[in-house]
Amino acid sequence: MRGEYGLAESLGDSAPVSAITDDRFLLSGNGKRAVVRRPDGGLRSSRDGGAGSTGLSADEARALELPGTRLTWRFLDGGEWSEWTLVLVDARDTIVWVHREGFFPSGYRAAGPEPTDESSDGLGLWMDPLDMGEHYCVTLIQNVTPYEALRRFGAADDGIGTSTWRELRSRAAFEEVDHHENHVVAAFALGPHALLVEDIGNEGVHRPDLSAGTLAVSAFRSDSSQDFSVSRDGVELASMHLSCLGAVEGTHPDEITKVFPEMGIDDVEAYENDPENLFNDLELLRRIAGISPTAADLAGPAYVAIIPN
């Protein structure tokens, strides 16, 4: 039931904190999450048998030993994020404490997003509605529908639906989707083209088959890696790794390098030797693909799918 705290669905067991002992622990209904008492009197909350383990100190655990309360899990929709979270609820099932957030006597409220300085880096402000920061994989496929883009990616017809990007990520969190075993993907319409967006993935830069009969341009960025590729008719033409502008590979590297002067890069070596320069791969994608996306294009519903590997 959706109330003032977002989704208020329970996940399995619940108990007063004082009841969690060496012989008593909490276990979620799907068996993926547990809370156990640590030898020092604190609590350990873990997922999937230990992965993603977090803890509460003995003092923090004692602070939760309030009359008429129970420890359990809720799937919270906080506006900018949504996930299964350890919470403390009172006799009326009202959330009074949220793990990592603390006590909220007047009701849970998620903190608002930090203000964005749009002049700070210019790295694809049209991507802002996706709230992906500098970890993303996007693939523009020319002249195909979003539905067809997902089919090419591997989605079955009966596995394709519609939702916003935020709703898709919320669904994946609610279902506790394993991103190592599934692709969480949305496809947005940009005029006659489709923009594939992956949640925690990099499949697009390795899939020249997505370009069958057309052109596909893909950009992937994470904390430790960056990849960029251009494909046509199912064949990769050019690729670039770690934004090394002077080391573009492929049979037609000019598919990438011809755009550099348009971006004010006439001397690649001088550009790369200047530590102040931050290469904008999303701008490169935009220019090669010939698109002019806006934030509004990605703010509404898209075709979406969760696809097993």
What's the pLDDT tens digit per position in 40-56?
A: 888 988 887 665 567 88
Say which residue the tokens 């496809």 belong to: 187
Confidence label for 79 from pLDDT (cuts 50, 70 and 90): low
Exposed/middle/buried for residue 29 (C-beta within 10 Å: 0-12, 13-18, 19+): exposed
List all residues 6 or more positions away from 138 whose beta carbon is below 8 Å from its beta carbon. 127, 195, 196, 197, 198, 204, 218, 219, 282, 285
- So what's the pLDDT on residue 114? 41
Both tokens assigned to 172: 């994946």
Say which residue the tokens 């519903």 belong to: 301
160 contacts 305 by C-beta, under 8 angstroms: yes
- So what's the pLDDT on residue 47? 83
Confidence label for 9 from pLDDT (cuts 50, 70 and 90): very low
- So what's the pLDDT on residue 83? 83
Closest CA to 108 of 195, 30, 8: 8
Helical ranges in the chain per DSSP H: 58-63, 146-153, 165-174, 254-257, 268-273, 281-289, 295-299
Confidence label for 90 from pLDDT (cuts 50, 70 and 90): confident
- Say whether pTM exceeds 0.85: no
Closest CA to 90 of 111, 106, 109: 106
Q: For the chain, which residues make up each domain, given as ranges?
A: 2-103, 125-308
The dihedral region occupied by 31, where left means phi > 0, alpha psi between -120 and 50, and beta the remainder, is: left
- So what's the pLDDT on residue 261? 95
